[in-house]
Structure 1
Amino acid sequence: MSGPIIVGTDGSAGATAAVEWAADDAARTGLPLRVVTAVLRRPYDIPRSIVLEEDVITRDARRVLAEAEATARARRPLVEVSTALIEGAASLVLRDQGQGAEEVVIGTRGLGGFAAALLGSVSMHVAGHAHCPVVVVRPVTGPARDEITVGVDDSDACEPALAYAFHQAGLRGATLRAVHAWQLPVHAFAPEVAYAMDDIRAAQYAVVADRLAAWRRKYPGVDLVEDVRCAHPVDALVEASQGGDLVVVGSHGRGGLGSLLLGSVSRGVLHHARCTVAVVRS
């Protein structure tokens, strides 16, 4: 059996949207939902002259958990919901909670973020470190568009992202748009170099067809659109996100530093996509 769906909350509007998304996904998958709040303590949090059985920070965190649990139960009454209050930095707590989980769901930006920030530091850290899919929920208005976008390239690293995207499309009955973006080599613009553009385009379409062939057979009921573009991958995926409910990207990052564990494409899509993004590490 798969692990639970983990959703982090801090009581912010973004976290509430994440709880709602996670409850919906728990209902689709039949998995339990675990709502997590992290409490980070410092020596100056509580004045020494005040002695309480339960300090203010803990009491507030329990209130946040109770409200999030009520939101999830009201939205999806049949989903099994549990809660956990865990001491530690939110980014580390949610990263660790991802071990054995089906996915970790978080908002784009919590209470601690800067107003102008497109993506919070917690979201970036968890997406770069968790070993399960991380869903960063961007609140949107209006009805569902019933379309999911997934990035496709010629490497095996995109296979986990394809698996997640096809599974989500099958559960939702949504169209799956497989976007493959390619760019001309720099020397292709040199007049002395002869390039057969038709051959290049045909080769790019072949990359997508070969990569998707096995998934077509596994999910014959999924309506699949092959979207091959001459563009930067971030630009292509961000543009496609405007007409969808979810963008799924793989992460090719191999660096030792936190931000480098996300590839440049996944970082760019997380910052600029117009809908929810799922990052699926290989």
Structure 2
Amino acid sequence: MIVVGVDGSMVARAAVEWAVNDALRMGESLRIVHAVDRSPYQIGRFPNAAVPDALLREGQRILREALALAHERQPEVEVTTWDIEGAPAEVLREQAKGAAEIVLGSRGLGGFAGALLSSVSTHVAGHVGCPVVVVRGDHRPVRGEVVVGVDDSPGCEPALAYAFGQAGLRGAVLRVVHAWQLPVHAYAPGVPYEMDEVRGAQQQIVRDRVGMFTGGYPQVTVVEDVRPALPVEALTDASAGADLLVVGSHGHGTVSAMLLGSVSRGVLHHTRCPVAVVRA
């Protein structure tokens, strides 16, 4: 099951389109969820009964429109709608149990598609076990490439596995990006570094990681992209021609990081393609 959060915004519509297309590729059902959040009205001056009917009616309208869109795009996908009371982040955390992935818009009117880099990201991508896909509102042509960031830690392996699966389902090329930098002490006088050896070692990191998955995905063409660069710059640059960018949410190297760390935060701010955050 794939879960997508909606709030009536344009980016939420884009998230529904992405989610239903992915549900078709993965052979999954789709659950469209809207959170009825009464918390802004539950203060002393506003009785609880002042707005619930309007909130419920609006939620049902949003769900009807999202359901119609999903059926229009992929009529063969099984789709259900859920209107649930609670804070959006808490609702999504609960819905993530047993889900193949969670899909969200990156901007919106509030609720799920609202400020992703604030409370929703903290409570969803940082705490759920399934991949969280962040979708922008702009439509992009199909590029035929999936990009994934890897480092030298086992924490990047779930992201790499997810990326291989997505590339295989899409018939896309998989670009494996590894960004590296010399340590600060490398620039100290008298510290010798053989750059060919350094580059070779970094290339071997990618080969070792990729080799764990190529046997299961013989149809996927892999491009090993190893470059001396800052991770955010490398991933953002590579994602310009991608349909999806995949990053890990944990790791000890330069590419994978927690969602609220500098790499994932930078990627979510600067890339225009959908981003999948996969926890280790």
Q: TM-score, normalised by structure 2?
A: 0.90
* 1:61 corresponding residue in structure 2: 59
Q: 1:51 to 1:223 in 2, by over 3 A?
A: closer
* 1:218 corresponding residue in structure 2: 216
- The Cα of 1:191 is off from its aligned counterpart by 2.9
Q: 1:45 to 1:14 in 2, by over 3 A?
A: farther
- The Cα of 1:252 is off from its aligned counterpart by 1.0
* 1:132 corresponding residue in structure 2: 130
Match of 2:21 among 3, 20, 24: 24
* 2:273 corresponding residue in structure 1: 275
1:23-47: CA deviation from partner (whole Å, max 9, x where unpaired): 0000101100000000111336997
Cα distance in 2 for partners of 1:141, 1:45 equals: 44
Cα distance in 1 for partners of 2:32, 2:48 equals: 33
* 1:36 corresponding residue in structure 2: 33
1:232-259: CA deviation from partner (whole Å, max 9, x where unpaired): 11111111111101100011179xxxx9
- The Cα of 1:50 is off from its aligned counterpart by 7.6
Cα distance in 2 for partners of 1:62, 1:191 equals: 67
SS in 2 for 1:55: helix
Cα distance in 2 for partners of 1:219, 1:66 equals: 38
Identity of aligned residues (%): 61
Cα distance in 1 for partners of 2:220, 2:142 equals: 17
Does 1:87 find its partner at 2:55? Answer: no
Q: Which deviates more, 133-142 or 122-131? A: 122-131
* 2:2 corresponding residue in structure 1: 5
Q: Which deviates more, 84-93 or 183-192? A: 183-192
* 1:264 corresponding residue in structure 2: 262
SS in 2 for 1:198: helix
SS in 2 for 1:191: coil
Count of residues in Structure 1 that have an aligned counterpart in Structure 2: 272
Q: 1:144 to 1:193 in 2, by over 3 A?
A: same
Q: 1:39 to 1:118 in 2, by over 3 A?
A: closer
Write the letter of the residue equivalent to 1:10.
D
* 1:100 corresponding residue in structure 2: 98
CA contact (8 A) 1:253 1:264 kept: no
Q: Which deviates more, 127-136 or 32-41? A: 127-136
CA contact (8 A) 2:7 2:110 kept: no
Cα distance in 2 for partners of 1:201, 1:60 equals: 56
CA contact (8 A) 1:253 1:261 kept: no
Cα distance in 1 for partners of 2:110, 2:29 equals: 28
1:19-70: CA deviation from partner (whole Å, max 9, x where unpaired): 0000000010110000000011133699769889x71110100100110011
Write the letter of the residue equivalent to 2:82.
A
User: Structure 2 matches for 1:121-270, cutoff 5 A?
Assistant: 121-252=119-250, 262-270=260-268
Write the letter of the residue equivalent to 1:264.
S
Cα distance in 2 for partners of 1:58, 1:95 equals: 21
Cα distance in 2 for partners of 1:49, 1:154 equals: 52
Cα distance in 2 for partners of 1:17, 1:39 equals: 20
Listed as ranges, the gaps of 5+ residues in structure 2 are none
* 1:75 corresponding residue in structure 2: 73
CA contact (8 A) 1:108 1:120 kept: no
Cα distance in 1 for partners of 2:3, 2:139 equals: 24
SS in 2 for 1:91: helix
Q: 1:50 to 1:194 in 2, by over 3 A?
A: closer
Q: Which deviates more, 104-113 or 146-155? A: 104-113
CA contact (8 A) 2:176 2:225 kept: yes
CA contact (8 A) 1:106 1:137 kept: yes
CA contact (8 A) 2:259 2:265 kept: no
Q: 1:50 to 1:280 in 2, by over 3 A?
A: closer
- The Cα of 1:193 is off from its aligned counterpart by 1.2
- The Cα of 1:141 is off from its aligned counterpart by 2.9
Write the letter of the residue equivalent to 2:169.
L
